[in-house]
Amino acid sequence: MRDESLLSDVLSELGDDRLRELAGELGTDPRGAETVVEATVSALPASTGEGTLAGVMGRISAPTAVAVAERTGLPVDSVSRALELLLPVVLSVIADHRRARK
């Protein structure tokens, strides 16, 4: 895990409603969605958050989806769709963490 506080903040930012939405996208329950969030945060490269949102998303989406699918056993296609919801939240929280460290 890169950072336990990052995971905690991402889960907080998602909240119950978006976590249920993510679970629905993945075809799992909210606990399964939390597992995907944890695997996603763990799978992201340390340089995530550097550059524009579109550039970062384009660079990390596919490899992150594959890594998360391998860790969770969920289909890559489902994980890819779920990352469309999840990655902007993760990147926002990473940006907040970086601002707080300055």
- Return the structure tokens found at 43: 């799978």
**Which parts of the chain have pLDDT scores under 70?**
1-2, 47, 49-53
pLDDT of residue 89: 92
DSSP reduced 3-state for 10: helix
3 state SS of 52:
coil
Q: How deeply is 52 buried, as exposed, middle or buried, from its count of CB atoms within 10 A (0-12, 13-18, 19+)? A: exposed
pTM of the predicted model, to two decimals?
0.83
Residue 48: per-residue pLDDT: 72
Long-range contacts of the stretch 32-36 (C-beta < 8 A, 24+): 32/72, 32/74, 33/82, 35/72, 36/68, 36/72, 36/74, 36/79, 36/82, 36/86
- What are the DSSP E strand ranges found in the chain? none
Burial of residue 4 (number of CB atoms within 10 Å: 0-12, 13-18, 19+): exposed
**pLDDT for position 101:** 84
